[in-house]
Amino acid sequence: MGNNSELFKVKTLAEAMDSLRPYVQTFYQRAETIPLADSLGRILTQDIPAACAIPHFRKSTMDGMAVRAIDTFGASESMPALVQCYGEVRMGEAPGEALRQGTGILMPTGGMLPEGADAVVMVEHLEHFGEELYGVTKSVAPGENLIDIGEDVTVGEVILKQFTRIRAQEMGLLAALGKSDVSVLPRFRVGILSTGDEIIPPDQEPLPGQSRDINGYTLLGQALASGAEAHYYGIVQDDLEELRTILSRMLKENDLVLLSGGSSVGTRDLSAQLIEELGEPGVLFHGLALKPGKPTIGGVADGKLIFGLPGHPASAMVVFDAIVRPWLDGSLLSPRVDPLPKGKMTQNLYSGSGREEFVRARFVPDGEEGLLEPIRGKSGLIRTMVLADAVVHIPLDTEGIEAGKEIPFRPLR
């Protein structure tokens, strides 16, 4: 048991994150170059200034005729403005000469406007009087029905900032900027190990007192969903030597190691002892002011992060989401600007436990807004996470949340 009692001073979530931060910074200084086609979900390592304007020519947003807006002023159904039409611009071609006064040129959507043209008349507002003569039945203002040079992106503009997570739209923008390769953070390599004499693989029939390994798979799924490259190392008994051997190997092969299980104090002590032995600085926190998730251990050995997560499946998932995911998915680097969705609590939630609390809830659509219905159940029940659509965070200094109050939640689906 040794120094367990003094170690078990709980830290708040914020204190735990701050203690880890200095050791994680180096991971965000790494970079690898990958093809744009493989970049979905990856995180940019640097600001990307636009080397070119988008679009780099003035283009039409309508089928119609490019004109000088001034030549259409006052046009109406009964008094069309007359325009001399000089042919048609084909897609992908640049028009030959500038538009002179009183002239126009036919134009497909996305076509390039000639010099001198500053508006496009929709095809519905054109009357063909024969040969080259057209009537415009509705005037256009300068800039109407076109996208100007640099209207999307101007040269030198930094529209993609460092640590932006790449979605489909960022892939499109990178393509428009001529980037076929992109510099991104390498994925975190995460190793997952389940511990405990009572844990068996899913394909075995449990004897009384044994349980199939749930956490190995929930944590694998959560790590993959966070963008990590994750590997499940199976189950190891509560045996110091065996644990030491596999942990040493996992630390060599991964950036971050997750141990789960060890719901017994004995196993937790083993994990803490090994984290202390395996490298500097060792255990950073042993116990969190968190519900569920108090018995969480976090440490660093030679630059690698190690977490000992609770054995209860829902606890392990909640702790992962609170303390592991933000490092993996980069959300700490570039905090969410989009606010979390909100819903109304259907019943009072009391906290006041001196701990931060994460409450699982069902989201029930109700007219314009949604209702959040707390799911009661022990943190040992995986069912509570399967039924949950949302997690509601009750901060440290809050007594609870009143029924009917609109509060933010983190969607789980």
Instruction: Please give the domain boundaries of the chain with CATH numbers for all domains.
Output: 4-29+187-328 (3.40.980.10), 32-54+151-184 (3.90.105.10), 59-147 (2.170.190.11), 342-411 (2.40.340.10)
Q: Please answer whether residues 177 and 217 qualify as being in contact, where contact means their C-beta atoms are separated by less than 8 angstroms.
A: no
Distance between CA 367 and CA 253 in Å, rounded?
A: 50
DSSP tag of 321: I
pLDDT at 3: 46
Residues 6+ apart with CB under 8 A from 173: 153, 159, 160
Distance between CA 361 and CA 320 in Å, rounded?
A: 17
Q: Please answer whether residues 324 and 255 qualify as being in contact, where contact means their C-beta atoms are separated by less than 8 angstroms.
A: no
Residue 119: CB atoms within 10 A of its CB come to 24
Residues of the chain short of pLDDT 50, as ranges, are 1-7
Locate 113 and state its tokens: 């406007």
Q: Please answer whether residues 288 and 12 qualify as being in contact, where contact means their C-beta atoms are separated by less than 8 angstroms.
A: yes
Amino acid residing at 372? L
pLDDT at 330: 86
Residue 36: CB atoms within 10 A of its CB come to 16
Q: Please answer whether residues 218 and 382 qualify as being in contact, where contact means their C-beta atoms are separated by less than 8 angstroms.
A: yes
Q: Please answer whether residues 193 and 234 qualify as being in contact, where contact means their C-beta atoms are separated by less than 8 angstroms.
A: yes
Distance between CA 56 and CA 9 in Å, rounded?
A: 61
- What confidence tens digit (pLDDT) does each residue in 214-235 have? 999 999 999 999 999 999 999 9
Q: What is the CA radius of gyration of the chain?
A: 31
pTM (2 decimals)?
A: 0.86
Distance between CA 282 and CA 7 in Å, rounded?
A: 12
* Cis peptide leading into residue 95 (ω within 30°): no
